[in-house]
Amino acid sequence: MQVNSSSHTNIELSNDEIIRYSRHLIMPEITLSGQKKLKVAKVLCIGTGGLGSPVALYLAAAGIGNIGLVDYDVVEENNLQRQIIHGTSTIGSLKVDSAKKRINDINPYVNVTIHNNLFTSENALELTEPYDLIIDGTDNFPTRYLVNDVCVLQNKPNVYGSIFRFEGQVSVFWSKHGPCYRCLFPEPPPPGLVPSCAEGGVLGILPGTIGTIQATEAIKLIAGIGEPLIGKLLLYDALTMSIDTVRLKKNTNCVICGTNPTIFEPIDYEEFCGMPLNDHDNEQSAGDKWDISVQELKKQLDAGKQLRIIDVREQFEWDIVHLPEAELIPMGEIPGRLSEFNNTDEHIMMCRTGGRSAQMLQILASAGISKVKNLKGGIRAWATEIDPNLPIY
Active site residues: 197, 351
Question: Which phi and psi angles does 146 have, rounded to 5°?
Answer: -65, -45
Provide DSSP, 9-45: TT----HHHHHHTHHHHTSTTTHHHHHHHHHH-EEEE
Q: Phi-psi category of 163—alpha, beta or left, where left has phi over 0 and alpha has psi -120 to 50?
A: beta
Residues in Cβ contact with 150 at an 8 Å cutoff, skipping those fewer than 6 apart = 124, 125, 128, 134, 156, 266
Query: Directed axis angle between helix 52-62 and helix 206-223, to 10°?
Result: 40
Its sign, for the CA torsion 99, 101, 103, 109, is positive
User: Is the distance from CB of 380 to CB of 352 less than 8 angstroms?
Assistant: yes
Collapse the DSSP code of 98 into the 3-class scheme (helix H, G, I; strand E, B; otherwise coil) and give the result. helix
| Edge-first strand listing for the sheet containing 326-328 | 291-292, 372-375, 347-350, 308-311, 326-328
- Burial of 300 from C-beta contacts in 10 A (0-12 / 13-18 / 19+): middle
Q: Distance (Å, rounded) from C-alpha 43 to C-alpha 53?
A: 14
